[in-house]
Amino acid sequence: MPYLGAAYLWVKAAHVIFVIFLMAGLFMMPRFFVYHQQCPVGSDEDRKWIDRERRLLKIILNPSLLLVWVFGLMLMVEIGAWHFGWFHLKLLFVLGLSGYHGWISGYAKKLARGERPLSEKQLRLLNEIPGIAAAVIVIAVIVKPF
């Protein structure tokens, strides 16, 4: 029995809106990292990148991730998604993106401490993860292959 009623479409719209915000941040942050790593540790430019990364996390990424999960879980319950194979695939990739968000948060802290563990090329490759995950999630939700 549906519990959202007329609010269902509003919840769905909010979910999609915050997914867009989250994905934008997940695409931006690794690019920030590439540019940040080119700055000398402790320089004025280094401090500016640390502030930019902190603000992107606090203002866009963290709230968006939380709201994506809240609205997504509401939708999951509403449609009984747990019973569908496509949902399990989506959930697997959403968990992966949540972990990627955690990695981004941790890497920003490393850069703030002056650590540069990954190369520019590695960061550019890691920047492809959200796009691949988004493609799989959209196909799972729209096509529902199983």
79 has pLDDT over 80: yes
Work out the pLDDT band at 122, boundaries 50, 70, 90: very high
| pLDDT at residue number 38 | 94
pTM of the model: 0.93
- Point out the annotated binding site: 15, 90
How much is the average pLDDT of 2-22? 96
Work out the pLDDT band at 2, boundaries 50, 70, 90: confident
CA distances from 68 to 8, 23, 53, 116 (A): 15, 11, 20, 30
Angle at 85 between CA 81 and CA 86, to 5 degrees: 75
Amino acid found at 146: F
1 has pLDDT over 90: no
| Secondary structure class of 1 (helix, strand, coil) | coil
Answer whether 104's CB lies under 8 Å from 54's CB.
Answer: no
pLDDT in tens, 108-119: 999 999 999 999
CA distances from 139 to 12, 16, 135, 143, 145 (A): 17, 15, 6, 5, 8
- Point out the annotated binding site for heme: 15, 90
13 has pLDDT over 70: yes
Work out the pLDDT band at 126, boundaries 50, 70, 90: very high
